[in-house]
Amino acid sequence: MGKIYVNNMMFYGYHGVLPQETALGQRFNVDLVVEVDTKQAGETDNLTYSVSYADMYATCKRIVEGEPYKLIEAVAERIASELLAEYALIDVCHVKVIKPDPPIPGHYHSVAVEITRSRQ
């Protein structure tokens, strides 16, 4: 097995519980790690035996910039379930959704949710 990392993808979405989050929107970052059998791709240098970074990015972009959710847990869940459904080569999917500027008084750092989902 191998791992493919797609780190620090940045998007603009309208997810949140508070009215200003869904009205104004905000930045979201996504880190993605997928576990794939990379042996054949490495031996053949053929993308057919791996998963395209660009395609995974496009899936994450469509979800984060699409339908608004109240919770970033739901955003992460949707990303994981769609990646597992779209790419048969992915065995395990780790998704971290980061909200860099949460509207918490006196809080000037990020919050995040990280999940792991697999085919089993």
Question: Given this model, what pLDDT does residue 40 score?
Answer: 97
For residue 44, give the CATH number of its domain. 3.30.1130.10
Tens-place pLDDT, residues 47-91:
999 999 999 999 999 999 999 999 999 999 999 999 999 999 999
Answer positive or negative: Cα dihedral of 94, 82, 30, 39.
Answer: positive
Residue 111 to residue 107: CA distance in whole angstroms? 10
pLDDT at position 94 is 98
Instruction: Give me the pLDDT at residue 104, please.
Output: 79
Write the pLDDT tens digit of every residue in 4-52: 999 999 999 999 999 988 999 999 999 999 999 999 999 999 999 999 9
Q: Which of 39, 61, 70, 99 is catalytic?
A: 99
Identify the domain containing residue 102 by its residue range.
2-118
pLDDT top residue among 108 and 98: 98
Contact by Cβ (8 Å): 51, 90: yes
Helix (H) or strand (E) holding 76: helix 72-86
pLDDT surpasses 70 at 2: yes
Q: What's the domain count of the chain? A: 1
* Residue that the structure tokens 């053929």 belong to: 46
> How confident is the model at residue 97, as a pLDDT?
98
Distance CA 32, CA 98 (A): 11
Active site residue 70: no
Q: State residue 98's pLDDT score.
A: 97
pLDDT at 107: 67
